Amino acid sequence: MPCGVPGRHFRLDKGRFSIVLPPAPPGLVPYIAGWSEEKLPARPVVRRPILPGIAYVDETPYDRDSFGVLWVRYVLRPKRRRGSPEFRNVHPYRQRRAMLNMMCQVCARVPPDPHGPHLFLLKESGGPIREGELTTSPPVCVPCAGISIQLCRALRGGRFVAAWARRVPAWGVVGPLHHPRTLQPIPRCAMEHVKYGSEWAPWVRAARTMVELRGVTPADLDREFAVLGRDRLEEEFARIAQLTAVA
């Protein structure tokens, strides 16, 4: 997720060739970012009638996803009323929407082909993105990848891996688990990975969608940026800045 202040022109060089990227625009806030005035409201849970699991007393169909998992409740505000951005936080609804529609997590662009492939950009963790890898990080478009590797502290300095995924099925969710007997949150289980259909799925309050990357092909960002060219990248950066700037 992009954050921070851009510096000078950024050179991406991995030994084969390099391209000088335009500087990333300042004041950019990713689509999925949390905001100070969109804090999650506290809602107690009760035992679900008939079926095992947790529920809300005033539950509506919008409180569950298509797999029947309960989600944390969230606040949605117009951009001018969201307060200040909180880059370390991810908004549950916007993350879920981005994953469902394979939207860019930065500019919310819908992919030209909903069937893929989709570009994923992750923090390096000792190797490339693997077939079947799980992630809660929605895809990015190529221009936003160029912004992210400049601004995101976790990705700067080449500390990233990128891949195209042809299929991105939903795997499960991430969120706090509740004890089946007491219904209280289980200590040290605040953000557990829970697979759809598992025994713990009825007892989680989802805060993120987790997907599985299939048909994985390593992405050469050097080449992707070169195909677009600097002029096109500058145009795209300006467009993204308008869409994502703090109002």
Within 10 Å of residue 155's Cβ, how many Cβ atoms? 21
Query: What mean pLDDT, rounded, does the chain reach?
Result: 90
Tens digits of residue pLDDT in 18-30: 567 899 998 899 9
Retrieve residue 209's tokens: 């969608």
- Alpha-carbon span 16 to 192, nearest angstrom: 40
In 3D, which of 55, 41, 44 has the Cα closest to residue 202?
55
Q: Do the Cβ atoms of 240 and 25 come closer than 8 Å? A: yes
More confident residue, 117 or 8: 117
Q: Does the pLDDT of residue 80 top 60, yes or no?
A: yes
Mean pLDDT of 139-157: 92
pLDDT above 80: residue 203: yes
Query: With contact defined as beta carbons under 8 Å apart, do 141 and 109 qualify?
Result: yes
Query: CA-to-CA distance for 241 and 144, rounded, in angstroms?
Result: 10
Output the pLDDT for position 52: 97
Q: Residue type for 203, please?
A: W
Q: What is the pLDDT of residues 92-145, one digit of tens each?
A: 999 999 999 999 999 999 998 989 899 999 999 889 999 999 999 999 999 999
Decide if 223 contacts 216 (C-beta within 8 A): no
Going by C-alpha positions, the residue among 75, 119, 91, 73 that lies closest to residue 29 is: 91
Quote the CA–CA distance of 43 and 21 in Å, as a whole number: 46
Q: Determine the pLDDT at residue 9.
A: 44
Q: Quick one: pLDDT at residue 173?
A: 99
Residue recorded with tokens 């759809």 = 196
Cβ-contact 119, 103 below 8 angstroms = no
Q: Which residues contact 245 (CB under 8 A, 6 or more apart)?
A: 25, 27, 28, 29
Sequence spans of domains, the chain: 10-244
